[in-house]
Amino acid sequence: MLKRILVLDDNQHILEAVEEALTYEKFQVLITTDSNNLIEIAKIFQPDLFILDDRLAGRKSSDDICHQLKWHPRFGNTPVMLCSYFYHHGADFSSLPCDDIIAKPFGLDELVSKVNNLILD
């Protein structure tokens, strides 16, 4: 059975590139821009990993989403990876219960490596 990855971002180009790269690597990928219904989407999709954009334009914050996921009875043990342009600029993510962070812009090889480390080890 393919490992499932749910990707939330507000940039359609990033979503499509991530979907294509991870699908090529034999993951089942669901992409969405809908931060308000992420838990409901996840209940249906049952992901093995969440990949979340750090800054979602005009939507619920990734901080809130990350905490919601980690405190949710069904998804508390599901790894969460944040994607952030601000990671290189000294932003402090230590208060977030995410399992990994990838700095934007990222290479697809780096993305695949981090994904494999989170859900295949």
> How confident is the model over 98-112, as pLDDT tens digits?
888 888 888 999 999
pLDDT computed for residue 54 by the predictor: 80
Q: List the domains of the chain with CATH numbers.
A: 4-119 (3.40.50.2300)
Chain-centre distance for alpha carbon 5:
8
Q: What are residue 104's phi and psi, to 5 degrees?
A: -85, 145
Please report where in the chains the tokens 């821009």 appear, as a residue. 33
Q: Provide the whole-model pTM.
A: 0.90
Query: CA-CA distance, 70 to 56, in Å (whole number)?
Result: 19
Under-50 pLDDT residues of the chain:
none
No. of H helices and E strands in the chain?
4, 5
pLDDT computed for residue 120 by the predictor: 79
Q: In what order do the strands lie in the sheet with 4-8?
A: 28-32, 4-8, 49-53, 80-84, 100-103
Q: Are 38 and 80 in contact (CB under 8 A)?
A: no
pLDDT computed for residue 121 by the predictor: 58
